[in-house]
Structure 1
Amino acid sequence: MQGARYTVNDVMTRTVVALAGGAMFKEIVRTMGEWGVSAMPVLDGDGRVIGVVSEADLLRKEEFRDSDPDGRAELRRLSELAKAEAVTAEELMSTPAVTVRPGTTLTQAARVMARHQVKRLPVVADDGVLKGIVSRSDLLKIFLRSDEDIADEIRREIVAGRFPVPLDAVRVEVRDGVVRLTGHVPDTSLVPLAVRLVRSVEGVVDVHSALAGPRRRPVLEPDLVSDRTPPRPPGAGAA
Structure 2
Amino acid sequence: MESSPQRVSDLMTRAVVAVGRKTLFKDIVERMEKWKVSALPVLEGDGRVVGVVSEADLLPKEEFRETDMDRFTRLRRLPALAKATAVCAEELMTAPALTVHADATVADAARIMALRHVKRLPVVNAEGVLEGVVSRGDLLKVYLRSDRDLADEIRVDVMDVLFPAPQEPVHVVVSDGFVTLTGRVGDAARIPLAARLAQGVEGVVGVDCRLTADGADGA
Report the TM-score when normalising by structure 1: 0.87
Give the CA deviation at 1:164: 3.5
Give the CA deviation at 1:167: 6.2
Matched, 1:181 2:181: yes
Following the alignment from structure 1 to structure 2, what is the Cα–Cα distance between the partners of residues 71 and 183?
A: 70
Q: How does 1:120-199 map to 2 (within 5 A)?
A: 120-166=120-166, 168-199=168-199
Report the TM-score when normalising by structure 2: 0.95
Q: CA contact under 8 A between 2:168 and 2:184: conserved in structure 1?
A: no
- The residue that corresponds to 1:77 in the other structure is 77
- The residue that corresponds to 1:32 in the other structure is 32
Give the CA deviation at 1:73: 1.6
- The residue that corresponds to 1:50 in the other structure is 50
SS state of the match for residue 156, structure 1? helix
Following the alignment from structure 1 to structure 2, what is the Cα–Cα distance between the partners of residues 179 and 165?
A: 22
Give the CA deviation at 1:131: 0.5
The letter for the 2-side match of 1:122 is P
The letter for the 2-side match of 1:111 is R
Cα RMSD (Å) of the superposition? 1.4
SS state of the match for residue 172, structure 1? strand
SS state of the match for residue 46, structure 1? coil
Work out the number of aligned pairs and report it. Answer: 216
Unaligned stretches of 5+ residues in structure 2: none
Following the alignment from structure 2 to structure 1, what is the Cα–Cα distance between the partners of residues 167 and 92?
A: 59
- The residue that corresponds to 1:113 in the other structure is 113
Q: CA contact under 8 A between 2:6 and 2:202: conserved in structure 1?
A: yes
Following the alignment from structure 1 to structure 2, what is the Cα–Cα distance between the partners of residues 164 and 186?
A: 10
Give the CA deviation at 1:95: 1.0
Larger radius of gyration: 1
SS state of the match for residue 97, structure 1? coil
- The residue that corresponds to 2:17 in the other structure is 17
Question: Using CA pairs below 8 Å that are at least 6 residues apart, which structure has the higher relative contact order?
Answer: 2
Following the alignment from structure 1 to structure 2, what is the Cα–Cα distance between the partners of residues 24 and 167?
A: 67
Q: CA contact under 8 A between 2:41 and 2:53: conserved in structure 1?
A: yes
Q: CA contact under 8 A between 2:13 and 2:133: conserved in structure 1?
A: yes
Following the alignment from structure 2 to structure 1, what is the Cα–Cα distance between the partners of residues 165 and 190?
A: 12
Matched, 1:95 2:95: yes
The letter for the 2-side match of 1:105 is T
1:137-171 per-position Cα deviation (integer Å, ceiling 9, x unaligned) = 10010011111111111111111122244464311
